[in-house]
Structure 1
Amino acid sequence: MIKKMGIQWRLRHLMAARDLFQTTDLVPLLAERGIHLSREQVFRLVTQPPQRLSMDTLAALCDILDCTPNDLIEVDVVNTEVRKTAGQPEQTTGPAPAVRRTTIRRPDLP
């Protein structure tokens, strides 16, 4: 059995609970704590779960929102049973990639 882990990023929800409704509201609050991110970076941080997050940024967010990392990140465990048996093809998770013909070009020789 394979245990698949997922997360729910709750930053937007916690911001709304503190009357912070615009992502740009977070930029100066982070800067006060030594975290200098562009408006675009903060927008991505608020609107989608980050793949990587520095501990300094996490600590600053927790300080700003008066919360803990557990309040920001909710871990979901999704149990998916995948058992391989002899003779069964592997299960794929999506459509097969499109086939593209490759052309190899050689430089003209003098």
Structure 2
Amino acid sequence: MIKKMGYQWLLRRLMAEREMYQTSDLVPLLAERGITLSREQVYRLVTHPPQRLSMDTLVALCDILSCSPNDLIKPEVVNAQLRKTADETAGPVSLTARRTVVRRPGQNPS
């Protein structure tokens, strides 16, 4: 089975923990580190998980927030098989091998 990976982008949470509540607060801090992004680009960076991110921007964010890339990005499996139960809650499916016995018509069960 192929494992499909995703991630949680935790930039907004880390900013809030450091009392940075305006996305525009990052614009001058990034510029000090040679990263020139518009206010709109920074807003998208904070509010939406980026599909692509330059290493320079990642390193600048880590420096600004005094964190590591592991603090900003939390990997997660996104294609776990789920099964709905009678009460409509979803839970992980337990996949275990079971031995199957094939019985032909007229054959006595053992």
TM value normalised by structure 2: 0.71
Residue type at the aligned position of 2:19:
D
Q: Secondary structure at the match of 2:8?
A: strand
Give 5+ residue unaligned stretches, structure 2: 82-110
Q: Which residue of 2 aligns with 1:62?
A: 62
8 Å Cα contact 1:7/1:73 also seen in 2: yes
Q: How many correspondences in the alignment?
A: 81
Q: Which residue of 1 aligns with 2:86?
A: none
Q: Secondary structure at the match of 1:3?
A: coil
Higher relative contact order (CA 8 A, sep 6+): 1
1:79 CA displacement:
4.5
Larger Rg: 2
TM value normalised by structure 1: 0.71
Q: Which residue of 1 aligns with 2:9?
A: 9
Q: Which residue of 2 aligns with 1:48?
A: 48
8 Å Cα contact 1:2/1:80 also seen in 2: no
- In the TM superposition, 1:22-41 aligns within 5 A as 22-41=22-41
1:24 CA displacement:
0.3
Give 5+ residue unaligned stretches, structure 1: 82-110
Separation in 2, partners of 1:31, 1:53 = 16
Tell me the alpha carbon deviations over residues 26-83 of structure 1, each in whole angstroms, 9 at most, x when there is no partner: 00000000000000000000000101100000000000000000000000023546xx
TM superposition outliers: structure 1 runs of 4+ over 3 Å: 78-81
Identity fraction in percent: 77
Separation in 2, partners of 1:78, 1:50 = 16
RMSD over aligned Cα atoms: 1.1
